[in-house]
Chains A and B, each alone.
Chain A
Amino acid sequence: RLRKWQKRIKVSNAAERNLSQALQELERMASNLSIPNDVRETSAVIYRKAVKQNMIRGRSIEGVVAGSIYAACRITNVPRTLDEIASVTRVKKKEIGRTYRIMARYLKLNILPSKPDDYVNRFCSKLRLSMEARKRAEEILKMAIDNDLTSGKGPTGVAAAAIYIASLITGERRTQRAIAEVAGVTEVTIRNRYKELTEKLNLTIEE
């Protein structure tokens, strides 16, 4: 009856309000991260799926939006780090990671583990490195993956070390500090990965 209709209208109003609020949040975060439109659309699709599966219960809209963006970046092979996503939200990195993992399982997103080479173009652009350096870094990473030097290691740390080596090879040297900053890892991590890559792949840097 009338009560029932009022309730439905209220629910649908609330749902619509939440959805438009979420999509506004999504746009805000995405533009702060310079995420392209196709990836934003993928994020929105994922967010809508999460809503349909009642995944917002017990979670914040902001957290699910952040998780959707992280997932969409992963799916389109241009992953952003959890730190990058967290930098445009009040949601903590730990919570975004947790939400993302739950979404990936529950929504059956079947997302492959991220690989170091997915980060090369973005990090090299920020470092204004040449195409030659990117190519070198990708070659090094292919060897690293073929020799299984990456299991369990953070993809960004491995990518950072490969880029550091590539920058030395092409003579466009970037400091570990500069690379560490764009990759969001510490210089210690770059050194550790650098040591392992050069030793196990017998890489010689001098020219």
Chain B
Amino acid sequence: MSEMEKITIENIVASTSLAEHLDLSRIALALEGSEYEPEQFPGLIYRLKDPKTAVLIFRSGKVNCTGAKNLENVKKTIDIIIDKLKKAKIEVYDNPDIIVQNIVAVYDLESDLNLTDIAMSLGLENVEYEPEQFPGLVYRVEEPKVVLLLFGSGKVVCTGAKEESEIEQAVIKVKKELQKVGLI
């Protein structure tokens, strides 16, 4: 069952709430290097170097964290933000619930793929393969509900999952489907 070991998580998107309301202009001054241009985007953008993540802070108190490769770094990022805001005398919650919204991961089928054949056997209605527009084949899996991008090299990108187990399920699923039709 350890396909898990061959799955590399590349990015985690998570959200949480730090307060009922936040004064982004004040935070912009408190967080050095942050970007806040409400005309362009309602959220304040702040990038951390360690862990290498990016945070979007909204006036509703909602916060998004992107770029982390594991849950610890998501937590670490949020804790750093909480710490910096507290030091700037801005009141925020202490241990907010963090919700993982999306996980992007890569897996390797270790076998070259004929994407045209795969498109036809998986069914043209379930798959999108337009090499003129993008080299990957887009496969929308219903259960678990994720999207897989299959490449000629055998590399697979999985996105849309909220739990690591969904990535493993999806990867095992395509692998079996491709084996069944002899395309792997």
CA of A95 to CA of B152 in the docked complex: distance in angstroms? 25
Could you tell me if B119 and A113 are in contact, using CB atoms closer than 8 angstroms? yes
Q: In this assembly, does A202 line the interface, its C-beta being within 8 Å of a C-beta of chain B?
A: no
Could you tell me if B152 and A101 are in contact, using CB atoms closer than 8 angstroms? no
CA of A5 to CA of B119 in the docked complex: distance in angstroms? 48
* B residues near A97, Cβ cutoff 8 Å: 130, 132-133
Q: In this assembly, does A81 line the interface, its C-beta being within 8 Å of a C-beta of chain B?
A: yes
Q: Which residue of A lies closest to B112 (CB)?
A: A148
Taking a contact as CB atoms closer than 8 A, the residue among B125, B132, B151 that contacts A154 in the complex is B132
Could you tell me if A110 and B125 are in contact, using CB atoms closer than 8 angstroms? yes
* A residues near B113, Cβ cutoff 8 Å: 151
What's the nearest-Cβ distance from chain B to residue A158, in Å? 9
Number of residues from A at the complex interface, CB < 8 A: 21
A interface: dominant SS: loop
Pick the most buried of B132, B133, B152: most chain A CB atoms within 10 A of its CB: B132
Q: In this assembly, does A42 line the interface, its C-beta being within 8 Å of a C-beta of chain B?
A: no
Given A113-B116, A148-B114, A154–B131 Cβ distance below 8 Å? yes
Given A112-B120, A113-B119, A151-B112, A105–B128 Cβ distance below 8 Å? yes
Taking a contact as CB atoms closer than 8 A, the residue among A108, A151, A152, A156 that contacts B125 in the complex is A108
Q: In this assembly, does B42 line the interface, its C-beta being within 8 Å of a C-beta of chain A?
A: no
CA of A79 to CA of B138 in the docked complex: distance in angstroms? 21
* B residues near A82, Cβ cutoff 8 Å: 132-133
Taking a contact as CB atoms closer than 8 A, the residue among B112, B114, B131, B136 that contacts A155 in the complex is B131
* B residues near A152, Cβ cutoff 8 Å: 115, 131, 135-136, 151-152
Top 7 A-B pairs, shortest CB-CB distance: A151-B152, A152-B135, A152-B152, A110-B124, A151-B115, A97-B133, A148-B114
A-B contact pairs, 17 of them (CB 8 A): A82-B133, A97-B130, A97-B132, A97-B133, A101-B130, A112-B120, A112-B124, A113-B116, A115-B116, A150-B116, A151-B112, A151-B114, A151-B116, A152-B135, A152-B136, A152-B151, A154-B132
Interface residues, chain B, with chain A CB atoms under 8 Å away:
112-116, 119-120, 124-125, 128-133, 135-136, 151-152
